[in-house]
Amino acid sequence: MTTSGQDGSVEGGATEGLGFDPTTLRQRYRQERDRRLRGDGNEQYVEVEGRFAHYLDDPYVEPGFEREPLTDEVEVIVIGGGFGGLLAGARLRQAGVEDIRLIDPAGDFGGTWYWNRYPGIACDIESYTYLPLLEELGYMPKEKYSFGKEILDHSQAIARKFDLYRDVCFQTRVEELHWDEDEARWIISTNRGDRMKAHYLCLATGPLNRPKLPGIPGIEEFEGHSFHASRWDYRYTGGDSEGNLTGLRGKRVGIIGTGATSVQCVPHVGEAAEHLYVFQRTPSSIDVKDNPITDPEWTETLTSGWHQHRMDNFNSLVSGIPQEEDLVNDGWTDIITNLLVGIRKGKANDFSPEGMARAAENADFEKMESIRGRVESVVKDAATAEALKPYYRQFCKRPCFHNEYLEAFNRENVTLVDTEGRGVERITKKGVVVGGQEFELDCLIYASGFEVGTDFSRRAGFQVYGRGGKTLADTWAGGVRTLHGMHARGFPNCFIMSNPQAGFTASYPHLLNEQAKHLTYIITKGMDVGSRSVEVTEEGEAEWVDHCIEKAQVTGDFFENCTPGYYNNEGKSSERSAQDGFYGGGSPAFFKILEDWRAEGSLKGLEVK
């Protein structure tokens, strides 16, 4: 008998020779999920404002920056100087748009790579696919996986190449955006007293830009030093993103969180601190990271268009679309390759939807069994090893890749404090309490992640007022409504580079690049005909929203049954998630939709006045 589970699991089929029992694993996954589910979902986190606002301060600029307010007009204003803003700026420049201004609260370009400079920071998506505009800049990353400093430098190189420093406003926080219907202009007000105007507006504020703090009772009481990992305080810790944290000598340090950030910085902190306590709620899956330096001979074989081709190949593979070859060939693409090899070797010979789902689930079990096996082979203490084993399907949480993280728990001065899925109990004046035991600390680091799934305006840090003064937040109160995730009715000439109703990519700049090409096409079309405004029609918007809801079912069941995290709105998926999530048809299909839409040429679903 074959039964389909809600989680995409498919019971039945031959299990002999697998080396694991799917039923037992399925039950264990469910138990682990259930004990982490909590009623407050995203509300468990506290907003970083008011008494917590100092956690947002920029540690990388000198205080005292001032400039005169601006009241001028620009053709295009791009909000955000990370990869989204840089790609929008670059693509617009390539299309001949000269009058562009970027605005960012940071002191330079780089976005997430500007803020995140914690020790060990690196990107574990392959650099040859992750770093944007490699061919345009004639740049080849030094290694297969770039460290943060190289990515930050590359961001700034993009800005120089496309002359985006020319009219940039750094250390400037947008406060409000208003559409002025009479003038057909956006009015941008900032904390520097600016009141600029723009004909077109791009919102490139990023998906994981706003640090979040866990709402742990007593969080405001701690009297030691504390900071969020995305604002690393090197004045306190000493060292830099390569480590050497001499300021932590003799210090008892705690880290809350065991996601991708923590995984990268724990080895460095463990090396420097007198004692490091790692407070864990859910373990990450940690795969091997093989990081060879770039082979110049391989570089010479590359021909024009290689970068887009490689991005497409990677994106298709991690989206589950078989390709003739796996160009990236790493932990991300491995799971798909395993599945295909399984099919080729006859491990999967049932090509019905249930048969394929079962093969996918078995490939997932196999992969996660090897991840758990790796923990056991590296971590010497059996109880610690057991606690570090992840029990969920691989893409329920972001997979991590690291060679020193697990090893760090073999150090005598590093202790894993496993909260058994419950999270830290409370924070006191002196430290952190778990299971009734207080761990006294000199320094507490929050590697607790970033807001996801909260209101767009809250994450962006400003309200967008469209036609008639209606905010984007109010417009979306009943669910996100867009065409292609980019245009919202009532917000003419406004281009949103964001995730809802757009395609999910493991390599986020890939999505940003497609969005940048798309908005450039529309803006230049508008400019060519001297249009006043470009706006999505009611029908255009409704059609896309319906299409998104229909497609959301594909991934909805999978995430519904995952352990909670930001991939599934902290375990609170609902009907809203179907509407507010990524485009369920997958990013390869989404990019094709955008490409075909442009090729068709009539700007279908938009009205141009």
Q: With respect to ligand NDP, which residue has the nearer C-beta, 56 or 603?
A: 56
Angle at 116 between CA 113 and CA 119, to 5 degrees: 120
Closer by beta carbon to ligand NDP, 419 or else 454: 419
For residue 58, the minimal CB distance to ligand NDP (Å) is 18
CB of 330 to ligand NDP, least distance (A): 12
Q: Which of residues 147 and 465 has its CB atom nearest to ligand NDP in the complex?
A: 147
Q: Is 6 exposed, middle or buried (0-12, 13-18, 19+ CB in 10 A)?
A: exposed
Would you say 89 or 132 has its CB closer to ligand NDP? 132
> Which tokens sit at 398?
């972001």
CB of residue 57 to ligand NDP, shortest distance in Å: 18
**Min dist. Cβ of residue 491 to ligand NDP (A):** 28
Considering beta carbons, is residue 9 or 282 the nearer one to ligand NDP?
A: 282
Separation of CA 500 from chain center: 13
Token pair of 536 as six digits: 């999505």
Q: How far is the CB of 261 from ligand NDP (least distance, A)?
A: 3
User: C-alpha distances in angstroms, 275 versus 226, 391, 415, 520?
Assistant: 16, 28, 8, 52
Q: Are 466 and 490 in contact (CB under 8 A)?
A: yes
How far, in Å, CA of 92 to CA of 115, rounded?
25
Smaller CB separation from ligand NDP, 279 or 583 = 279
Ramachandran class of 289: left when φ > 0, alpha when ψ lies in -120 to 50, beta otherwise: beta
Q: 8 or 259, CB closer to ligand NDP?
A: 259
Output 35 or 160, the one with its CB closest to ligand NDP.
35
Nearer to ligand NDP, 401 or 544 (CB): 401
482, 531 Cβ separation under 8 angstroms: no
- Closest Cα partner for 1 from 9, 17, 13? 13
**How many whole angstroms separate alpha carbon 430 and alpha carbon 351?**
59
DSSP line for 416-435: EEE-TTS---EE-SSEEEET
Minimal distance, residue 416 CB to ligand NDP, in Å: 12
Largest CA distance in the chain: 73
| DSSP string for 95-130 | TT---EEEE-SSSSS-THHHH---TT-B--S-HHHH
- In 3D space, the residue among 168, 139, 164 whose CA is nearest the CA of residue 151 turns out to be 139
Rounded to whole angstroms, the Cα distance separating 573 from 378 reads 36
Phi, psi of 186 (to 5 degrees): -90, 135
Strands 606-608 and 534-536: antiparallel
Question: Which residues pair with residue 177 across a beta bridge?
Answer: 188, 464
Query: Which residue number, 83 or 495, has a Cβ lying nearer to ligand NDP?
Result: 83
Please say which residue, 310 or 398, places its beta carbon nearer to ligand NDP. Answer: 398
Question: Shortest CA distance to 119 belongs to which of 213, 228, 212, 232?
Answer: 232
Amino acid symbol at 154:
H
In angstroms, give the least distance from the CB of 214 to ligand NDP: 4
Are 396 and 573 in contact by the 8 Å Cβ rule? The answer is no
- Contact criterion met (CB below 8 Å) for 33 and 563: yes
Instruction: Give the shortest CB-175-to-ligand NDP separation in angstroms.
Output: 27
Binding residues (CB under 6 A) for ligand NDP: these are 123-124, 208, 214, 216, 256-262, 264, 279, 281-282, 398, 419, 423-424, 447-450, 565-566
The nearest distance, CB 300 to ligand NDP, in angstroms, is 28
Residue 574 beta carbon to ligand NDP: minimum distance, rounded to whole angstroms: 19
CB of 207 to ligand NDP, least distance (A): 9
